[in-house]
C-alpha cells in the first residue's frame, strides 16, 4: 500500500498525521473515516497557488458532492475556495457552514423550483442553467424576487473523456448541458441574454471524472473558447466567465498515473491564456471545480477484521465490519483500492486475500486479491483514498448506521461528523 504524506509507521503500526490507528479505534471505534487535515489544506493550497493568471481572475470551487459536511466546507471557505453545489442539501450545508454564498455555483440537470427559490433567497452567486425548462423557471423566480441572477449555460463539447481518451462526436447523448453542435443553442443564448433579471456571463463545461489525460482538458477548453468566439460574433455579446469543471484524476492503486497537479495547473492556465488570445476573448474570470482531487487521498477508512475464511474454491476472505454501505464504489464501478493491516504494517505480505464487507450482497467487496500479512480477528484494516465519493455516497443498507468522520492533524484528532446511532436509524419511521 502506498503511504501518503502524513502517514508514518511507529512500532509496526500505521499513524496518520501523528495519531496511531489503535488510538483512533480506542477513541472512536470502527468502522471509521479518517481525514488528514494537513493533506486537505495542502491540496487547497496547491490549487489556489497554481491556478493563477495575470490576464484574468481565477476561481477554484470545491465540488462538494465529493464530501459535503460543515467542517470540510468551513475549511474550503477559509482556504479561499468557492463551492459547487447540486442540491438543496448541499446548498444548505454550505450556507450553514458560513460559506460566502456569492462564491457558490449551483449545478444539476433537474433543479427543482424549491431548490432554485432557496438558492436565490440565500444569495447564491451563480446558477448554471442546464436546459430551457430550467431557464424559464429561473427567470420567473428572479422576476418574482426582483433580483438579478448571474447565470452560466452548461454546454456540452462532445468531448467524452470517461474512457481516458477523448473522442469528439457531434451527436452527444449526455444528459448534461446543451450541445455546442445543436444550432438551436444560439436562440437559447440570445433569449437568456435578453432577460433583464438574468445576467448572462458565459459557459460551463465538465467533461468527466478521474481523467488522466492532460490533453482532454486542453482540448475541451479550446472547444469552449472556439464556441464562445462564435457566440460573440453571431450574437454580438461578450463572454466574461468560463467554468471549465473538474475531473482531475487521482491515485487509488498503482494502475493510476495521475499528473503532478501543480505543474498541470500552471500548464492549463497557459493553454487557456493562449487560446483565449487566439480566439480574441476578453475573459474576466476562469473557474475550475475539483472534487475528488481535493479530498480523495486525504481520507482513509479504518475497519476491524472479523472472520477470515477460505472458500471451497480456494479464495481467502477477510471480513470487515463495514463494506458497500460505507464504500459502494466497488459494487457500482468495480473500483480498485489498496489495503493494509494497519497494526502489522511492516509484516511480510505473504497471503492473497479478498476484503469483503458484511452486507447481504455478493457484490459487497472492497478489495479483490490483495497481498497482506496473515490476518487475524481484531486486526485493523485500512483502505486509503476513500476521501471522495465514499461518505457522500454511503447508505444505510442493511440498516447499518453511517460512520463517524474524524479529522487528524499533527498528533491530535477530532470528531467532525458523529456516527449514527440505532435511534437515528428509526428516527423518521412512523
Ligand atoms: N463539476 C461537475 C459539474 C461535476 O459533475 C463533477 C463531478 C465535478 C465538478 C467534480 O469532479 P471531480 O473533480 O470530483 O472528478 N461518483 C463518482 C464520481 C461522480 C462525479 C460526478 N461529477 C465516483 O465515485 O467516482
Give the model's confidence band at 283: pLDDT under 50 very low, under 70 low, under 90 confident, else very high.
Answer: very high
Rg (CA), the chain: 23
Q: Given a cut of 80, is residue 234 above it in pLDDT? A: yes
Known catalytic membership, residue 69? no
**Residue 170, pLDDT score:** 47
**For residue range 289-326, what is the model confidence (pLDDT) as tens digits?**
999 999 999 999 999 999 999 999 999 999 999 999 99
Q: 247 labelled as ligand-binding? A: yes
Verify whether ligand 1 is closer than 6 Å to residue 90 (CB atom).
no
Write the burial class of residue 122 (CB in 10 Å: 0-12 exposed, 13-18 middle, 19+ buried): middle
* Mutate which of 81, 209, 242 for ligand 1 pocket (most atoms within 8 A of beta carbon): 209
**For residue range 148-197, what is the model confidence (pLDDT) as tens digits?**
999 999 999 988 776 556 666 545 678 888 999 999 999 999 999 999 99
Q: Say which residues have a Cβ less than 8 Å from residue 379's Cβ, sequence separation at least 6.
A: 304, 305, 341, 343, 344
Strands 241-243 and 82-85: unpaired
Question: Can you read off the three cell numbers belonging to residue 361?
Answer: 450482497
Q: How many Å lie between the centroid of ligand 1 and the Cα of residue 90?
A: 14
Verify whether ligand 1 is closer than 6 Å to residue 289 (CB atom).
yes
Nearest to 40, CA basis, from 91, 13, 4: 4
Nearest to 366, CA basis, from 374, 355, 375: 355
**Residue 164, pLDDT score:** 53
**Residue 83, pLDDT score:** 98
User: What long-range pairs does 137-142 form, CB within 8 A, spacing at least 24?
Assistant: 137/111, 137/113, 138/198, 139/195, 139/197, 139/198, 141/113, 141/116, 141/117, 142/195, 142/197, 142/198
| Residue predicted with more confidence, 167 or 205 | 205
User: What long-range pairs does 179-182 form, CB within 8 A, spacing at least 24?
Assistant: 179/155, 180/155, 180/156, 180/223, 180/227
Q: What is the DSSP string of 180-248?
A: TT-TTHHHHHHHHHT-TTEEEEEEE----SSB--HHHHHHHHHHHHHHHHHHHHHHT----EEE----B
Verify whether ligand 1 is closer than 6 Å to residue 329 (CB atom).
yes
**Residue 171, pLDDT score:** 54
Question: Can you read off the three cell numbers belonging to residue 215?
Answer: 490533453
Q: Say which residues have a Cβ less than 8 Å from residue 277's Cβ, sequence separation at least 6.
A: 55
- The number of the ligand 1 atom at minimal distance from the alpha carbon of 335 is 25
Calculate the CA 131 to chain-centre distance: 23
* Mean pLDDT computed over 24-48: 98
- The number of the ligand 1 atom at minimal distance from the alpha carbon of 154 is 3
* Mutate which of 43, 60, 65 for ligand 1 pocket (most atoms within 8 A of beta carbon): 65
Verify whether ligand 1 is closer than 6 Å to residue 245 (CB atom).
yes
**For residue range 397-410, what is the model confidence (pLDDT) as tens digits?**
999 999 999 999 99
**For residue range 244-269, what is the model confidence (pLDDT) as tens digits?**
999 999 999 999 999 999 999 999 99
Nearest to 342, CA basis, from 314, 378, 383, 380: 380
* Mean pLDDT computed over 79-93: 97
Calculate the CA 212 to chain-centre distance: 15
pTM: 0.97
**Type and span of the H or E element at 269:** helix 261-278
**Residue 175, pLDDT score:** 86
Q: How many Å lie between the centroid of ligand 1 and the Cα of residue 129?
A: 18
* Mean pLDDT computed over 192-215: 96
- CA distances from residue 345 to 35, 201, 299, 321, 380 in whole angstroms, order as listed: 19, 53, 18, 20, 10
Verify whether ligand 1 is closer than 6 Å to residue 218 (CB atom).
no
Q: Given a cut of 50, is residue 238 above it in pLDDT? A: yes
Residue 13: CB atoms within 10 Å: 18
Residue 254: CB atoms within 10 Å: 9
**Type and span of the H or E element at 276:** helix 261-278
Nearest-angstrom CA–CA distance, 138 and 417? 34
Verify whether ligand 1 is closer than 6 Å to residue 209 (CB atom).
yes
| Residue-averaged pLDDT of the chain | 96
**Residue 268, pLDDT score:** 98
**For residue range 381-394, what is the model confidence (pLDDT) as tens digits?**
999 999 999 999 99
Give the three-state DSSP class for 315: coil
Nearest CA to ligand 1 atom 16: 389
Amino acid at each position: 500500500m502506498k503511504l501518503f504524506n502524513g502517514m508514518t509507521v511507529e512500532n509496526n503500526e500505521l499513524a496518520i498525521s501523528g495519531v496511531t490507528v489503535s488510538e483512533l479505534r480506542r477513541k472512536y471505534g470502527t468502522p471509521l473515516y479518517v481525514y488528514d487535515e494537513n493533506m486537505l489544506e495542502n491540496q487547497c493550497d496547491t490549487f489556489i497557488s497554481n491556478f493563477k493568471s495575470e490576464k484574468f481572475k481565477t476561481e477554484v470551487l470545491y465540488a462538494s458532492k465529493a464530501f459535503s459536511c460543515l467542517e470540510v466546507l468551513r475549511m474550503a471557505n477559509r482556504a479561499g475556495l468557492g463551492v459547487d453545489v447540486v442540491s438543496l442539501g448541499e446548498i444548505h450545508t454550505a450556507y450553514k457552514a458560513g460559506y460566502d454564498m456569492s462564491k457558490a455555483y449551483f449545478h444539476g440537470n433537474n433543479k427543482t423550483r424549491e431548490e432554485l427559490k432557496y438558492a436565490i433567497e440565500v444569495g447564491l452567486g451563480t446558477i448554471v442553467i442546464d436546459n430551457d425548462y430550467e431557464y424559464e423557471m429561473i427567470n420567473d423566480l428572479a422576476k418574482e424576487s426582483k433580483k438579478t441572477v448571474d447565470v452560466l449555460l452548461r454546454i456540452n463539447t462532445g468531448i467524452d473523456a470517461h474512457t481516458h481518451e477523448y473522442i469528439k462526436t457531434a451527436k452527444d447523448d449526455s444528459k448534461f448541458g446543451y450541445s455546442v453542435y445543436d444550432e438551436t443553442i444560439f436562440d437559447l443564448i440570445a433569449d437568456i441574454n435578453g432577460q433583464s433579471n438574468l445576467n448572462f456571463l458565459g459557459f460551463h463545461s465538465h467533461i468527466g471524472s478521474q481523467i488522466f489525460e492532460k490533453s482532454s482538458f486542453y482540448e475541451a477548453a479550446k472547444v469552449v473558447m472556439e464556441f464562445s468566439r462564435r457566440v460573440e460574433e453571431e450574437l454580438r455579446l461578450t463572454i466574461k466567465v468560463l467554468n471549465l469543471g473538474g475531473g482531475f484524476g487521482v491515485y487509488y492503486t498503482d494502475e493510476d498515473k495521475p499528473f503532478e497537479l501543480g505543474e498541470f495547473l500552471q500548464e492549463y492556465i497557459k493553454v487557456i491564456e493562449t487560446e483565449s488570445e487566439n480566439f480574441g476573448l476578453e475573459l474576466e474570470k476562469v473557474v475550475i471545480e475539483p472534487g475528488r482531487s481535493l479530498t480523495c487521498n486525504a481520507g482513509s477508512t479504518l475497519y476491524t477484521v472479523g472472520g477470515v475464511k477460505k472458500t471451497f474454491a480456494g479464495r481467502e476472505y477477510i471480513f470487515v465490519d463495514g463494506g458497500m454501505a460505507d464504500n459502494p464504489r466497488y459494487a457500482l464501478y468495480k473500483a480498485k483500492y489498496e489495503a493494509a493491516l494497519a497494526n502489522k504494517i511492516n509484516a511480510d505480505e505473504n497471503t492473497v486475500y479478498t476484503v469483503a464487507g458484511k452486507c447481504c450482497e455478493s457484490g459487497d467487496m472492497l478489495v479483490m486479491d490483495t497481498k497482506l500479512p496473515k490476518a487475524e480477528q481484531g486486526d485493523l484494516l485500512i483502505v486509503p483514498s476513500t476521501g471522495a465519493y465514499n461518505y457522500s455516497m454511503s447508505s444505510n443498507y442493511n440498516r447499518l448506521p453511517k460512520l463517524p468522520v474524524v479529522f487528524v492533524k499533527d498528533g491530535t484528532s477530532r470528531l467532525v461528523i458523529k456516527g449514527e446511532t440505532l435511534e437515528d436509524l428509526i428516527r423518521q419511521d412512523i
